[in-house]
Amino acid sequence: IPVQLADKDSTVDCSTSVSVLSSNKQLLPESNITVGGEAPDCRISLVPQDNWTGTSTVSVVASDGSLTITSAFRFVVAPTISDIPDQATSEDVPLQGIAFNTSGAELSCASSIVVTSTNSALLPAENVKIEGTTPNCTLSAAPVANQSGSSTVTLTVAWAVPKPLSIVYVNVSMPEKVG
């Protein structure tokens, strides 16, 4: 994050004249914040803790020894879902144990993920089950009996402003009749 730092009355140094504080030390510990560069072009690096999601108010404090100025902004680390490859199955055969990962140590696979389906006549959202313990989740999908076609299943992490993060395509095809 670029920060402009200039003082007409004294010489300022990025590493000694700028400090950065985090309101959420579990998400963004201050040991994961570095300040570098040469004034007036300072840079701040923020590295969140692995497997944590959430928000932190980050306060940037600049001082020349006699005057201090503070500016704050919101730092957001949103949860993610890993990619899930397209899936296919035969009629009346459920899909089971499709593995995927989520970020965010505080997320529960079953209760934090919302499922939608574009074809509820073939695969109602309630027939898609999410199980496991983060970060290791699994998906199982049971199509309606005697149905064929395709459906796009969207998994959304129910956090802050939900948005689609991963899509599973479930294609259920009817086998050919013999004889």
- Residue 9 pLDDT: 60
Asked whether the predicted pLDDT for residue 164 surpasses 80, the reply is: no
Mean pLDDT across 90-104:
88
Instruction: Report the pLDDT averaged over residues 15-19.
Output: 82
Please say if the pLDDT value at position 118 is more than 80.
yes
Report the run of H or E that residue 176 belongs to, with start and end.
none
Residues 6+ away with beta carbon under 8 Å from 120: 151
CB 24 within 8 A of CB 40: no
Question: pLDDT tens, 139-163?
Answer: 999 999 998 888 889 888 876 444 3
Beta carbons of 150 and 138 less than 8 angstroms apart: no
On the 0-12 / 13-18 / 19+ scale of CB atoms within 10 A, 155 is buried
pLDDT digits (tens, 9 = 90+) for 105-115: 666 788 888 89
User: How confident is the model at residue 167, as a pLDDT?
Assistant: 37
Q: What is the distance between the alpha carbons of residues 41 and 134, in angstroms, rounded to a whole number?
A: 40
The pLDDT score that the predictor gives to residue 122 is 92
Predicted confidence (pLDDT) per residue in 51-92, tens digit: 788 889 999 888 877 778 888 888 888 888 888 888 888 888
CB 92 within 8 A of CB 146: yes
Tokens of 27: 């998400």
The pLDDT of residue 61: 86
Computed from CA positions of residues 45, 22, 75, 55, in that sequence, does the dihedral angle turn out positive or negative?
positive
Q: Please state, for a pLDDT cut of 70, what percent of the chain lies above it.
A: 81
Mean pLDDT (the chain, rounded): 80
Quick: pLDDT tens for 125-135.
999 999 988 88
The pLDDT assigned to 165 comes to 35
**For residue 176, what are the contacts with CB-CB under 8 A and spacing of at least 6?**
none
